[in-house]
Structure 1
Amino acid sequence: MFNIGDFGAVGDGAALDTVAINAAIDAAAVDGGVVVFPAGRYLSFSIRLKSHVTLHLSEGAEIIAADPKLHGGAYDPFEPNLFDLYQDFGHSHWHNSLIWGEGLTHIAITGAGLINGEGLTREGPGSQWQKQAGEFPLSMRGLSAEVMAELAPEVSAMAGLGNKSIALKNCQHVTLRGFTIKNGGHFALLATGASDMVIDGLTIDTNRDGLDIDGCKRVRITGCKVNTPNDDAIVLKSSFALGELRDCEDIHIEDCRVSGFDLGTMLDGTFGRTQERAPDQDRVTGRIKIGTESNGSFRRITIRNCHFERSRGLALETVDGGVIEDVVAENLSLNEVTTAPLFLRIGARLRGPEGTTPGTIRRVQISDMTATDILPDYSALIMGLSDHSIEDVTLTNLHFTYRGGGTAEDAARRPDELDSAYPEPSMFGITPAYGLWARHVRGLKMDNVVLETSASDARPDMVLDDTQTL
């Protein structure tokens, strides 16, 4: 046991404790050990994890992300990445974080304490990809150049800033358990190329993404509460950030709650509903998603016993060439759905190396899913491409209740394919069905699927275009 107080940490929230914390980690790494944060407020820049070390945040302990403008220091520089072309800045760098580790084994962060990312930035540059198709959702088309520059600043503006609460690259045997993250920056957690990872009982209330699992294998996410009004709560990705296709495989998500309440109001228990829209100008987010970064594939994914509140719903998206297959989602409850309760999408953004072709979605089973108080604009969507159909989707025991209000003019709409656009349910505008719209699907099986509205709606319950049902 290595108490950071024995290495000079003050814990008054004013003095910088970076040096003391890293000294304790270095000492623990010699033979392996636990670095203990007793109750106190520990202001810090970059904390560098080491193999065979656990950080234990005691109850009442708070790690506070320092602000370079206020505290006379800087986070570790963002490391060079020769493979940063096909994903944004945040996905491409790890060292510029409050807590980071690379190439480590048997590491853990545990305890009932708090990681407070108040000194981190939530923004970052977009990708350097020259084609730039599908970089941003279509809902952002009306934003001014000034607003876009604020949301996606230049790379030079990131010097010295902290971009993430926890960033892990190519780490093995990782445990994250019990603690809370508030205002976590671009990502509360970015895990890239990790394997054998347990994420259990975390509470996250943050201003952008919650848990980002990118190209990882054998990950269990259980008992977590993640509130993210401005971005995704729990999201699986497979970017090109490591310079090769890294699949996301054998991921298990169970007993989690995701939401889009006002920032900070899950933690304080008020569950506010003042904020209507996220920065992309669609309604608040807070969902579980596969994609959008999808160079690699996604295989053997289970999502079970999860609750979505004030959320965009469940999304499975491949637009950069990856395959999504063998996904099981069961016993899901959704309330106050802010876009579509269910969104499956094959797209052709193709943000990847030359020769990238559209991917596939196949063998998806969704069962025992209820959704109530659904925004009427968008039905559930299962949207392939004319030459790349979604295959073998089974919907069993689904009950979706929409608010209603669609018109006959809405029913007559047939939006364009929009192959290369960023995938969001809103990309197609108001849908021609109130309940389910499927296009380019082979092998859609439905058993006890109930679609209804709480007010009248002139649209049909389902529209099936180029879709083979079983």
Structure 2
Amino acid sequence: MPLSAKPRLFDVRAFGAAGDGRTLDTQAVNRAIRAAAEHGGGTVVFPPGGYLCFSIRLAGGVTLRLEDGAVIEAADPARHPGRYDLPEPGVGEFYQDFGHSHWRNSLIWGDGLHDIAILGPGRIEGLGLTRDGPGARWRKKTGERPLSMEGMSADEIRALEPLPEHMNGLGNKAIALKNCRNVVLRDLTLYKGGHFAVLATGVDGLVIENLAIDTDRDGIDLDCVRNARVAHCRVNTPNDDAIVLKTSLALGRPMATENIIIEHCTVSGYDIGTMLDGTLGRTQQLAPDRDPVTGRIKLGTESNGAFRNIVIRHCRFERSRGLALEVVDGGVIEDVVAHHLSMQDVTTAPLFLRLGDRRRGPEGTGIGSMRRVSISDIEATGIDPRYAATIAGLPGHEIEDVSLQNIRLVYRGGGTAADAARTPPLLADAYPEPSMFGTTPAWGLWVRHARGVLLENVRLETATPDARPAIVREAAEVIDKG
């Protein structure tokens, strides 16, 4: 970032912050940020201590530095005198969740800024944030929620998705950035980040490095982001996705997520808090969608725009769902490379490529496409036997040019002859999840409505016998080079 080699330092205590973990320090912190901005930029320093805050408003050219032992704690409107900034007006949440549609109702937020950073080694704790929020106002009866949630009552859904008016004064994100340029997030620990620990929307030029995130719902969401690198992060999210790329309509129009590198990261679905304390708890079995714990890397589900030039490499998946590439809202996924991934205790499918027809978007939204995907040097063990690696397009809208090379997938086995006889329905407009089709007719690889699928040195194994075939092709062109 083009900040001074010797930046001006603004100690939040000099602006009235108590740092005692009990006094509300919101106004003092925001005074320090304004002072740094008025001096042409600088670094706002948080010395060791606890800083209880409602919304912290970033400014261009300003870095927040949390020293070792410094903790910014999200205040709780139910216990502390104050509230978070109200959700700003805008395009609304018609085609995406409330959490995706607003940024100011967050612990730390910035809009339209450039040259900003939040640096550790300190800690952000979202104890006063909520993980809940309304879903999209778009209602089509199908495709809005995973099929695994079909049996939930209206009261159970309402508990997860309160009405918008109930969100006023609440904060549901730890860090939210909109339309910013040249951003660095580095060396931080985040615990319980609400709906999103980090939400970046419309950001160009982003480095996220060496973050440890152990949180209630999504970890890192990059929505309509360009030129970003996520590296050396540990993200534990049993209830939702760990690192996810999206192309929603939150900014009012389709925009691309492109030129993204995700590398040397570990994602997991251990019990909340147990990644940070090192105990790696396994008590929680199901996520709120009633499928097994999540914690994966995913492209989608929001997919109105294009995903291009995405690289995912040298990452580890632990007790989580596998790699998912999903385009269901008219967008495009193309030129994706994923290599050198290791997976242990995979809770659904190790690989899930889905081209669907949800079309959550304005009139004229069509069916998207997926092409030129290269996946190589993957080893996955302890895989849920119900869900084979899946490549599933639609009739007349095939997934194209997928390369699977140097891959070893080890399933737990146990499938039956009845499982082998299944022909899952198309479910074109359903929410995309590996469980959507039920138990797959293959135990290793199921390919449907795809062409140009290349298999080279793909090894499929089961720990116990399985009555299903290893590979099932349905309306698919698969070239197996052995």
- Please state which band the TM-score falls in when normalised by the shorter chain: over 0.9
Pairing of 1:19-98 with structure 2 (within 5 A): 19-30=27-38, 31-98=40-107
**SS of 2:91 mapped into structure 1:** coil
1:69 partner SS? coil
Check if 1:222 corresponds to 2:231.
yes
The aligned counterpart of 1:326 is: 335
Q: Which residue of 2 aligns with 1:317?
A: 326
1:9 corresponds to which of 14, 17, 27: 17
Q: Cα offset for 1:258?
A: 0.2
Equivalent in 436, 454, 463 of residue 463 of structure 2: 454
Residue 199 of structure 1 pairs with residue 208 of structure 2: yes
The alpha carbon displacement at 1:428 in A equals 0.3
Q: Which amino acid aligns with 1:295?
A: N
Judge conservation of contact 2:126–2:192 (CA < 8 Å) in 1: yes
Structure 2 residue identity aligned to 1:135: E
Indicate the residue corresponding to 2:3 in structure 1. Answer: none
What aligned pairs does 1:376-387 form with structure 2 within 5 A after superposition? Answer: 376-387=385-396
Give RMSD over aligned pairs: 0.6
| In 2, Cα distance between equivalents of 1:131 and 1:315 | 24
Are the counterparts in 1 of residues 91 and 101 from structure 2 also a CA contact under 8 Å?
no
Q: Is the 8 A contact 1:83 1:242 kept in 2?
A: no
Q: Which residue of structure 1 lines up, in the alignment, with residue 315 of structure 2?
A: 306
After superposition, give the CA deviation of every residue in 1:17-52 in whole Å (9 maximum; x if it has no partner). Answer: 000000000001121000000000000000000000
Alignment of 1:387-402 (within 5 A): 387-402=396-411
Q: Is the 8 A contact 1:83 1:240 kept in 2?
A: no
2:241 match: 232
Matched with 1:116 is 125
Deviation of 1:353 after TM superposition, in Å, equals: 1.1
Identity score, percent: 62
| C-alpha contact (below 8 Å) 1:54/1:108 kept by paired residues | yes
Match of 1:171 in 2: 180
Contact 2:180 2:202 in 1 (8 A): yes
Aligned to 1:443: 452
2:403 is aligned with what amino acid? T
Partners in 2 of 1:40 and 1:236 — Cα distance?
Answer: 34
Aligned residue number for residue 131 of structure 1: 140
The code of the aligned residue for 1:202 comes to: L
Give the letter for the 2:13 counterpart.
G
Please list every run of 5 or more consecutive structure 2 residues that lacks an aligned counterpart in the other structure: 1-8
Letter in 1 for 2:193: G
Q: 1:145 offset after TM fit, Å? A: 1.3
Is residue 368 of structure 2 the alignment partner of residue 359 of structure 1? yes
Q: Secondary structure in 2 aligned to 1:97?
A: coil
Q: Does 1:254 align with 2:263?
A: yes
Letter in 2 for 1:79: E
Given that residues 397 and 447 in structure 1 are in contact (C-alpha distance below 8 angstroms), is that contact kept between their aligned partners in structure 2?
Answer: yes
* Aligned counterparts of 1:201 and 1:340: Cα–Cα separation in 2: 28
Once residues 113 and 146 of structure 1 are traced to their aligned partners in structure 2, the CA distance between those partners, rounded to angstroms, is 39
Deviations 1:71-100 (A, max 9, x none): 010000001122421001000000000000
The answer (yes or no) to whether the contact 1:202–1:225 under 8 Å persists in 2 is yes
The 2-side partners of 1:42 and 1:295 are apart by 39
- The aligned residue for residue 112 of structure 2 is 103
Match of 1:190 among 185, 199, 203: 199
- Alignment pair present for 1:373 and 2:389: no
d(CA) in 1 for partners of 2:83, 2:369: 43
1:345 to 350, 354, 363: 354
**Cα deviation 1:422-445 (Å, max 9, x = unaligned):** 000000000100000000001000
Q: What is the CA–CA distance in structure 2 between the aligned matches of 1:88 and 1:332, rounded to whole Å?
A: 30
Q: Which moved more, 1:83-92 or 1:437-446?
A: 83-92
Give me the whole-angstrom Cα distance separating, in 2, the residues matched to 1:204 and 1:153.
25
TM-score for the superposition, normalised by structure 2: 0.97
Match of 1:294 among 303, 306, 324: 303
1: distance between equivalents of 2:35 and 2:396? Answer: 58
Cα distance in 2 for residues equivalent to 1:265 and 1:468:
44
Deviations 1:84-132 (Å, cap 9, x if unpaired)? 2100100000000000000000000001100000100000001011324
CA distances 1:233-291 after superposition (whole Å, capped 9, x unpaired): 00000000000111000000000000000000000000000000000000000000000
Secondary structure in 1 matching 2:100? helix
Q: 1:282 aligns with which of 291, 294, 298?
A: 291
Task: Trace 1:134-173 onto structure 2 (pairs within 5 A).
Answer: 134-173=143-182
Instruction: Quote the Cα distance in structure 2 between the aligned partners of 1:431 and 1:417.
Output: 12
What amino acid sits opposite 2:20 in the alignment?
D
1:412 alignment counterpart:
421
* 3-state SS of paired residue (1:204): strand
- Normalised TM-score (structure 1): 0.99
Letter in 1 for 2:27: V
Counterpart amino acid of residue 9 in structure 1: A
Stretches of structure 1 that go unaligned for 5 or more consecutive residues are none
Q: Please identify runs of 4+ aligned residues in structure 1 that moved more than 3 A.
A: none
Q: Deviations over 1:424-467 (max 9, x none)?
A: 00000001000000000010000000001000000000001011
Give 3-state SS (helix, strand or coil) of 2:229's partner. strand
Residues of 2 paired with 1:83 and 1:185: CA distance? Answer: 20
2:195 and 2:141 map into 1 onto residues whose CA distance is: 21
Map residues 263-274 of structure 1 onto 2, 5 A cutoff. 263-274=272-283
Q: What SS does the aligned partner of 1:70 have?
A: coil
Task: Determine helix, strand or coil for the equivalent of 2:78.
Answer: helix
Once residues 452 and 318 of structure 1 are traced to their aligned partners in structure 2, the CA distance between those partners, rounded to angstroms, is 29
